[in-house]
C-alpha cells in the first residue's frame, strides 16, 4: 500500500492517535479508485436492522445475500464497506483483505417504540473479522444522547487502544427537533462538531439544508450565505476542527440520480471528504449501481 502525500497530510491531523489507528485510516484512504486522493466513497448496509429486510432489499432481491454487498463494494472500487456483525461475518473469510471493513457496533429497529440504539457488537468482533474500524451512531438531541455518548466513549477507548479507527454516525433527532431541524445547517454542523469532540476518526452526517433551526444560533448566522450545498458543506467542514477531520455525507433515501449527482458536486466543492451511500446503491440492479458509483467517483476526481 502506497501512502500518498495527501494521505500523509490527513494522518498528521490525528496527533493524539497511535500508529495502529493511523495505519487503518490510511488503509481506508488508500483503497479503491479514490485511493490516495483524500476522498472516499463507502458502502453502508445497516438498513436491514433499521428498516427491515423487505423495505431494504426487495427492490433488488440479490441484495438479501451478504456476499452481494462485499462484491458490489469491491467491484465498484470503493474505500470501505460498513455493516453489522452478522453481515460482515457472513463474508469475512471469502473476502478477507479485499476491502477495509467497518463494523457497525450499534443499531436501532423500526419495531421498537423507543428510538434508542442497542450495542450489538464490539471491538473483539471487529478484530476477529479483520476490520479497519468500528462504527457507532449517536442521536444528538434525543433523550438517549448522553448514554449513547458514554457508550461511544468506552468503545472509542477500546478501539483506539487496539489500533482501530472510529467512524461516528452523528444524526440529530429528538423531541425538540422536527424533520426540518434534523438536517438544518446549524444542527448538522453542531452534530459534526460533537462527533469530532468525541474523538471520531471519520464523521458521518447528513447533507445540510439552508435552514437555521436553533433560535439561540440565528444571531450567529446573520449574514451567512447558505444558498448552495458547497457553502453549507464548507461550514460543516469548518465545524469539524477547521476541516481537520475526515467527514463523509450520507446519500439519503432512494432518489433521482441527477439530484444526487448535483448534491455530490456541491459536497466536493465544499471540501467534503466523500460520500457514504447505502440505499441509493444496493436498491438498484448491480450494473446500474456500478454505473452510479463510477459517476460519483468521477465527480470526486473532478471528471464529472
pLDDT tens-digit profile, the chain (304 residues): 889 999 999 999 999 999 999 999 999 999 999 999 999 999 999 998 989 999 999 999 999 999 999 999 999 999 999 999 999 999 999 999 999 999 999 999 989 888 899 999 999 999 999 999 999 999 999 999 999 999 999 999 999 999 999 999 999 999 999 999 999 999 999 999 999 999 999 999 999 999 999 999 999 999 999 999 999 999 999 999 999 999 999 986 556 899 999 999 999 999 999 999 999 999 999 999 999 999 999 999 999 9
Alpha carbons 12 and 5: distance in angstroms, whole number = 11
Alpha carbons 54 and 61: distance in angstroms, whole number = 9
Give the single-character DSSP code of 213: -
The answer to whether the CB of 123 falls within 8 A of the CB of 160 is: no
Give the single-character DSSP code of 209: B
| Confidence (pTM) | 0.97
Tell me if residue 295 is catalytic: no
The answer to whether the CB of 275 falls within 8 A of the CB of 249 is: yes
Catalytic residue among 104, 160, 204, 206: 204
Phi–psi pair at 130, nearest 5 degrees = 75, 30
Give the single-character DSSP code of 228: S
Domains of the chain: 5-300 (3.20.20.70)
The answer to whether the CB of 158 falls within 8 A of the CB of 196 is: no
State the DSSP H helix or E strand holding residue 276, giving kind and residue range, or none if neither: strand 274-276
Which own/partner pairs from 209-212 qualify as long-range (CB within 8 Å, at least 24 positions apart)?
Answer: 209/180, 209/183, 209/184, 209/185, 210/185, 211/180, 211/181, 211/183, 211/184, 211/185, 212/184, 212/185, 212/186
Amino acid at each position: 500500500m502506497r501512502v500518498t502525500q495527501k494521505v500523509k497530510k490527513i494522518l498528521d491531523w490525528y496527533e493524539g492517535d497511535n500508529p495502529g489507528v493511523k495505519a487503518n485510516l490510511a488503509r481506508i484512504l488508500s483503497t479503491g479508485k479514490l485511493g490516495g486522493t483524500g476522498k472516499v466513497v463507502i458502502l453502508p448496509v445497516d438498513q436491514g436492522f433499521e428498516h427491515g429486510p423487505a423495505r431494504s432489499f426487495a427492490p433488488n432481491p440479490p441484495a438479501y445475500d451478504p456476499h452481494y454487498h462485499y462484491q458490489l463494494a469491491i467491484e465498484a472500487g470503493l474505500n470501505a464497506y460498513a455493516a453489522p456483525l452478522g453481515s460482515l461475518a457472513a463474508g469475512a473469510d471469502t473476502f478477507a483483505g479485499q476491502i477495509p471493513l467497518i463494523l457497525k457496533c450499534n443499531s436501532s429497529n423500526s419495531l421498537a417504540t423507543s428510538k434508542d440504539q442497542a450495542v450489538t457488537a464490539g471491538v473483539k468482533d471487529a478484530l476477529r473479522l479483520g476490520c479497519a474500524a468500528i462504527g457507532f451512531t449517536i442521536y444528538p438531541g434525543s433523550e438517549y444522547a448522553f448514554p449513547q455518548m458514554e457508550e461511544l466513549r468506552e468503545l472509542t477507548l477500546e478501539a483506539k487502544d487496539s489500533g482501530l479507527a472510529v467512524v461516528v454516525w452523528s444524526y440529530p433527532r429528538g423531541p425538540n427537533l422536527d424533520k426540518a431541524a434534523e438536517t438544518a445547517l446549524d444542527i448538522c454542523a453542531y452534530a459534526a462538531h460533537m462527533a469530532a469532540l468525541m474523538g471520531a476518526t471519520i464523521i458521518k452526517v447528513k447533507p445540510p439544508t439552508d435552514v437555521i433551526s436553533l433560535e439561540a444560533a440565528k444571531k450567529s448566522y446573520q449574514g451567512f450565505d447558505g444558498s448552495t450545498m458547497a457553502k453549507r458543506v464548507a461550514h460543516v467542514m469548518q465545524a469539524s476542527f477547521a476541516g481537520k477531520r475526515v467527514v463523509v455525507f450520507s446519500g439519503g433515501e432512494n432518489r433521482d440520480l441527477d439530484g444526487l449527482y448535483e448534491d455530490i458536486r456541491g459536497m466536493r466543492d465544499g471540501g467534503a471528504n466523500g460520500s457514504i451511500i447505502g440505499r441509493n446503491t444496493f436498491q438498484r440492479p448491480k450494473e446500474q449501481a456500478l454505473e452510479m458509483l463510477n459517476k460519483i467517483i468521477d465527480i470526486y476526481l473532478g471528471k464529472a
